[in-house]
């Protein structure tokens, strides 16, 4: 019975995970997870990681980790980077791994605005781990022997590898940025069967971080060091759609607090609430390090799952950018 339940969950997970990318709640603290045009965006080298622990109180705990490194070549106005994504599910041996190589450029298009296009090429591998399941046709009741072979079609191919291509653009000034990401441009085949064809849906994300000038006219030192941002991220992939909207409060570029509501603006069924989760996040910057934590509270009928925790840490290899007059850094905490 336990194997049957795991198999049922895996089948459901295959249909879900094949159509939805991993979405990190801290994509505004670690924007490399959101848009590859942030590669080299600080005009120095930087590295970091973010870990997501999901459904901790359920039998199907899911962990996702993202690691990146990128650098900037001022003479060529280009950035190069590499990132690695891993996702595992505790109740089975399902795992997903992907490595990407990222390339970005920067162009000044006006006195205050900059344009940053980027491309990304990656290699991914999904392993569904069906080899650990015991299916009905493997059991010989008369002899009590467990056969090693099965005719179950799901076991024809438990591992799928593929190449993946994506592209992003970013517009920014010294206060705000607007971006667009399109992943899986080649729609790679992630079918479980050897001759099957299940193209991965294109993932589209339109996102922004816009400064709201509510503190500009205050002379108080504390208030004058404060900034308030409107943050949005609309995502679309197959039948899945989601809009994250919220605010981020930054104090002296050292501390950050924010809240996000995840909504479903386009209903595909009559079920489900408009707001699916609420996320609170905080960040601190110290001597080149950035630390972040976020917690997602689920507002749907999926109760007692333990919520979603995320932890992030990154480090900027600071360079003297004051003498560089063009291609200003993208502002983000």
Say if residue 247's pLDDT is above 70: yes
pLDDT in tens, 141-186: 555 555 555 555 454 456 788 999 999 999 999 889 999 999 999 9
Average pLDDT over residues 53-60: 72
Strand partners, 303: none
In a domain? residue 218 = yes
CA atoms within 13 A on the CB side of 75: 0
Look up the CATH number of the domain holding residue 229.
2.40.160.40
pLDDT of residue 205: 96
The three-state DSSP-derived secondary structure of 7-24 is: HHHHHHHHHHHCCCCCCC
The total number of structural domains that make up the chain: 1
In a domain? residue 37 = yes
pLDDT of residue 155: 47
Of the candidate ranges 29-43, 123-137, 263-277, the one whose mean pLDDT is the lowest: 123-137
In a domain? residue 275 = yes
Phi, psi of 81 (to 5 degrees): -160, 165
Could you tell me which residues come within 8 angstroms of residue 110 by beta carbon, excluding any fewer than 6 positions away? Answer: none
In a domain? residue 323 = no
In a domain? residue 70 = yes
Asked if residues 167 and 202 have their Cβ atoms less than 8 Å apart, the reply is no
pLDDT of residue 321: 56
In a domain? residue 322 = no
Q: How far is CA 187 from the centre of its chain?
A: 18
Q: Which residue has the higher pLDDT, 329 or 50?
A: 50
Asked if residues 116 and 109 have their Cβ atoms less than 8 Å apart, the reply is no
Average pLDDT over residues 12-24: 59
Per-residue tokens: 136 = 């009905």
pLDDT in tens, 93-134: 778 999 999 999 999 999 889 999 999 999 999 887 555 555
Average pLDDT, the chain: 81
Strand partners, 72: 79
C-alpha–C-alpha distance, residues 293 and 298, integer Å: 17
In a domain? residue 332 = no
Q: Which residue has the higher pLDDT, 242 or 324?
A: 242
Q: Which domain holds residue 6?
A: 2-317
Query: With 0-12 CB in 10 A as exposed, 13-18 as middle and 19+ as buried, what is 210?
Result: middle
**Cα Rg of the chain, angstroms:** 22
In a domain? residue 178 = yes
Of the candidate ranges 79-83, 136-140, 166-170, 231-235, the one whose mean pLDDT is the lowest: 136-140
pLDDT of residue 248: 94
């Amino acid at each position: 019975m336990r194997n049957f339940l795991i198999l049922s969950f895996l089948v459901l997970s295959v249909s879900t995970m094949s159509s939805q990318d991993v979405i990190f709640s801290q994509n505004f603290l670690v924007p490399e997870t959101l848009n590859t045009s942030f590669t080299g965006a600080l005009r120095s080298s930087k590295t970091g990681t973010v870990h997501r622990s999901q459904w901790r109180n359920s039998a199907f705990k899911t962990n996702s980790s993202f690691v990146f490194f990128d650098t900037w070549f001022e003479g060529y106005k280009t950035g190069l980077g590499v990132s690695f994504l891993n996702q595992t599910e505790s109740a089975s041996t399902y795992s997903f791994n992907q490595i990407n190589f990222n390339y970005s450029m920067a162009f000044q298009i006006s006195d205050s605005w900059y344009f940053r296009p980027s491309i990304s090429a990656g290699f991914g591998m999904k392993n569904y781990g069906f080899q650990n399941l015991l299916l009905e046709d493997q059991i010989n009741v008369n002899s009590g022997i467990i056969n090693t072979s099965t005719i179950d079609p799901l076991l024809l191919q438990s591992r799928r590898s593929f190449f993946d291509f994506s592209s992003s653009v970013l517009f920014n000034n010294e206060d705000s940025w607007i971006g667009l990401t399109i992943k899986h441009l080649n729609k790679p085949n992630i079918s479980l069967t050897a001759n099957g064809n299940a193209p991965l849906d294109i993932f589209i994300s339109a996102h922004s971080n816009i400064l709201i000038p509510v503190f500009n006219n205050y002379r108080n030192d504390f208030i004058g060091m404060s900034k308030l941002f409107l943050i949005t991220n609309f995502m679309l992939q197959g039948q899945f759609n989601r809009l994250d909207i919220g605010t981020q409060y930054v104090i002296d570029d050292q501390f950050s607090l924010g809240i996000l509501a995840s909504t479903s603006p386009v209903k595909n069924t009559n079920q489900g609430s408009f707001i699916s989760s609420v996320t609170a996040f905080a960040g601190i910057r110290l001597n080149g390090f950035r630390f972040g934590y976020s917690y997602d509270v689920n507002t749907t009928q999926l109760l007692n799952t333990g919520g979603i925790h995320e932890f992030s840490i990154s480090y900027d290899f600071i360079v003297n950018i004051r003498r560089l007059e063009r291609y200003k850094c993208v502002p983000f905490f």
